[in-house]
Structure 1
Amino acid sequence: MNTHHETSHAVTEPDTPNVVRRDLLKLTGSSIAALGVGMVGTGPALAQSPITLSEKWDKTFAKSNQVEHQKVSFKNRYGITLVADLYQPLHARGKQAALAVGGPFGAVKEQSSGLYAQTMAERGFITLAFDPSYTGESGGEPRNVASPDISTEDFSAAVDFLGLLPNVDRERIGIIGICGWGGMALNAAAVDKRVKAVVASTMYDMTRVMSKGYNDSVTPAQRTQTLTQLSLQRWKDAEQGAPAYQPPYNQAVHGGEPQFVLDYHDYYMTTRGYHPRAVNSGNAWTQTTPLSFMNMPILSYIAEISPRPVLFIHGEKAHSRYFSETAYAAAAQPKELMIIPGAVHTDLYDRTEVIPFDKLTAFFTQHLV
């Protein structure tokens, strides 16, 4: 367990790129089939063998003067080094409740998860926002690949780390998952009984959307075509000795895109939320990333979170709202679904006037006792 003290208080503003974050349809079965995975060219692997940590404040949100911040690193069960930001309330005494925060899918800790973590630290919790394996500052080769199993493990590894801190009460650890990591958080809470309470904010079930498409629209024939293309791509990757990458999410907005695609662009590809290490900010996943999601429904055991509480938070107008509603129906009591009036999916990434931090605080204060 390594700690790296923060030394810079400056907030960096990235240049606004003339690129667009392509919607997650690119990762679903129907769109992969339409793209022709085997025909797409390779992209840069963004290779990062040594772990190199940025010591400057390069978040997409301002640094709080109410918390102490440290850059930390630790290993997950597979030996991959994860890099995270640890936030602690100033002047805290004794053992405290703690929260691990992850997401969105394709984002880094300098974005939404860091904002959630810092804000909850201001409210009295020790918090940890981490980069998932193979992304951001965390280790893992090749770069920008994902697995539902390893992503779930990353949450448990964060719980490992928090439980080793001398000022954390091991019986009072919760987790927050945002967007695609909302599903990972639910899966982690089901399997890891050390997690005492879980929040899924603006949740995606990544295994569902990759295997079935949005609104479960992928046909069996499309699924078979996608799996055939992904399977053949494995031979191409093996021959090359490196994975091919999907096209970078950097196409310009031309008009006519679905509103949620424009919402993603407004977050990931402008100074609002752009970060050069984020997959969704002009980078790309490996072409075969969907393979491990296609046969792996991560919410199969969601009812086993009970009797520990789960809170779902989603925007009324979010295109992804059905993920939370379905998961809520499958979960056992105690559970709660909070719908934010008028909010779209990405409003819950960083709109502090929309994210119900008072509700989050009350939820964890009540259940991490």
Structure 2
Amino acid sequence: MADQSGEQRSVCFLSGGLTIRGELRLPRNTSKPCPIVLLGHGLGALKEWTLPEVAEAFAKDGIAGLWFDYRNYGDSDGEPRDEVSHYGRLEDWHSAIRYAETLPEIDGKSIGIWGTSLGGRDVLAMASIDPRVKAVVAQTPVIKWTPSLATRMSEYGDDVERYHRELSDDRKKRALGAEPRYLPYVKESGNDAKAEYLGAMGAAELRNYKARISLQSFQSSVLTDVAPLVKLISPRPLLFILAEQDFLPGQREAYDAAEDPKFLVTIEGNHFSPYGNSKKEAIDAAKEWFIEYLIDK
């Protein structure tokens, strides 16, 4: 298909009383409302990271893209800053879909959602409850948000007891008016893959990056395990993109629990490979999926 990559503009919409800011990329020369894919990144990630490149690839084949900063992050409103709101993220997804439906350039009956890492968890949960979603791509998704995973992703290693103790202590102090406790976004003990991902970014991509994440971002939520929700996505088509050496648990089991139509694409590398060496393969797989299920033949 010919290159149709077209207009990009900044947008904003309300979500739970907060202003959420993002970007809209439209295909070029659309004579009628076009399909759209909403895109969301992972834990503590910003809208400038990877998402514009994915949206640009979709736009070249006639699919609009909408991506945004979650509440508390980047250009969006919300406090505390740099704190992941596990429930709020889902509300932001709901609000983004509602906003997309209002756009005259968009076919509100052809809405897809794409999420990576924690965003992959979000889209699985969203698709299980929101019938407006017509097709889903979950890339390297978080499935089980357990204390052991939280400690591994933060600075606590295997010390689950200290994690719970300090999480509780922080909640008590914040209830009395103290400032949130923050951890380094890249663990001091080392996370070469994440550091490499960030190290390849330019100043524009890092303009809102504070190198921190609140301790409460790692608390568990009702979405401790989204595998039971995955079977509810059918009959909406679901694509899993998984990395062979990903450290996240439960991904294959969640895919197995999903009902048709579904498909699994496996790429080489670790959790961050879809943003690096395996990026083209991952983007192409997602694009083909949305072309198949969102564009009228």
Mark yes or no: TM-score above 0.5.
yes
2:119 to 145, 158, 181: 181
Which digits, 9 at most, give the CA deviation of each residue in 1:253-290, with x for residues without a partner? Answer: 8xxx5xxx211111113436961424xxx522212222
Instruction: Work out the number of aligned pairs and report it.
Output: 287
Q: Which residue of 2 aligns with 1:364?
A: 290
Question: Quick check: 1:104–1:113 contact (8 Å CA) kept in 2?
Answer: no
Evaluate the alpha carbon distance shift between residue 310 and residue 295 of structure 1 in structure 2; reply closer, same or farther with a 3 A threshold: closer
**Using the alignment, how far apart are the partners of 1:81 and 1:365 within structure 2?**
31
**Using the alignment, how far apart are the partners of 2:131 and 2:68 within structure 1?**
20
**Using the alignment, how far apart are the partners of 1:145 and 1:300 within structure 2?**
26
1:265 aligns with 2:174: no
Evaluate the alpha carbon distance shift between residue 125 and residue 295 of structure 1 in structure 2; reply closer, same or farther with a 3 A threshold: closer
Q: Which residue of 2 aligns with 1:39?
A: none
RMSD between aligned residues: 2.8
Unaligned runs of 5+ in 2: 153-157
Instruction: Give matches, 1:42-121, under 5 Å.
Output: 66-76=5-15, 78-121=16-59
Q: 1:223 deviation in Å?
A: 4.9
Letter of the structure 1 residue corresponding to residue 265 of structure 2:
M
SS at structure 2 position matched to 1:288: helix
Q: Which residue of 1 aligns with 2:176?
A: 239
Q: Which has the higher strand share?
A: 2
Instruction: Give matches, 1:179-218, under 5 Å.
Output: 179-205=117-143, 208-213=144-149
Which digits, 9 at most, give the CA deviation of each residue in 1:188-238, with x for residues without a partner? Answer: 111111001100112223xx244332899xxxx965653343222212223
**Using the alignment, how far apart are the partners of 2:49 and 2:261 within structure 1?**
30
Question: Quick check: 2:112–2:290 contact (8 Å CA) kept in 1?
Answer: yes
**Using the alignment, how far apart are the partners of 1:90 and 1:169 within structure 2?**
15
Instruction: Give matches, 1:13-24, under 5 Å.
Output: none
1:138 aligns with 2:76: yes
- Provide the TM-score with structure 1 as the length reference: 0.70
Question: Quick check: 1:204–1:324 contact (8 Å CA) kept in 2?
Answer: yes
Letter of the structure 1 residue corresponding to residue 259 of structure 2:
A
Letter of the structure 2 residue corresponding to residue 74 of structure 1:
F
Identify which of structures 1 and 2 has the higher relative contact order when contacts are C-alpha pairs closer than 8 Å and 6+ apart.
1
**Using the alignment, how far apart are the partners of 1:308 and 1:163 within structure 2?**
18
Q: Which residue of 2 aligns with 1:339?
A: 266
Question: Is the radius of gyration larger for structure 1 or structure 2?
Answer: 1
Question: Quick check: 1:98–1:174 contact (8 Å CA) kept in 2?
Answer: yes
Q: Which residue of 2 aligns with 1:11?
A: none
Letter of the structure 2 residue corresponding to residue 286 of structure 1:
S
Q: Which residue of 1 aligns with 2:229?
A: 301
Evaluate the alpha carbon distance shift between residue 99 and residue 65 of structure 1 in structure 2; reply closer, same or farther with a 3 A threshold: closer
Q: Percent same amino acid among aligned pairs?
A: 28
Question: Quick check: 1:248–1:283 contact (8 Å CA) kept in 2?
Answer: yes
1:310 aligns with 2:238: yes
Letter of the structure 1 residue corresponding to residue 193 of structure 2:
D
Question: Quick check: 2:145–2:220 contact (8 Å CA) kept in 1?
Answer: no
Question: Quick check: 2:82–2:214 contact (8 Å CA) kept in 1?
Answer: yes
Question: Quick check: 2:240–2:264 contact (8 Å CA) kept in 1?
Answer: yes
1:161 to 78, 82, 99: 99
**Using the alignment, how far apart are the partners of 2:202 and 2:264 within structure 1?**
28
Q: Which residue of 2 aligns with 1:328?
A: 255
- Provide the TM-score with structure 2 as the length reference: 0.86
**Using the alignment, how far apart are the partners of 2:256 and 2:185 within structure 1?**
36
**Using the alignment, how far apart are the partners of 2:51 and 2:159 within structure 1?**
34
**Using the alignment, how far apart are the partners of 2:35 and 2:223 within structure 1?**
36
Question: Quick check: 1:211–1:295 contact (8 Å CA) kept in 2?
Answer: no
Q: Which residue of 2 aligns with 1:126?
A: 64
Question: Quick check: 2:32–2:105 contact (8 Å CA) kept in 1?
Answer: yes
Which digits, 9 at most, give the CA deviation of each residue in 1:54-73, with x for residues without a partner? Answer: xxxxxxxxxx9932110110
Q: 1:352 deviation in Å?
A: 6.9
**Using the alignment, how far apart are the partners of 2:275 and 2:185 within structure 1?**
22
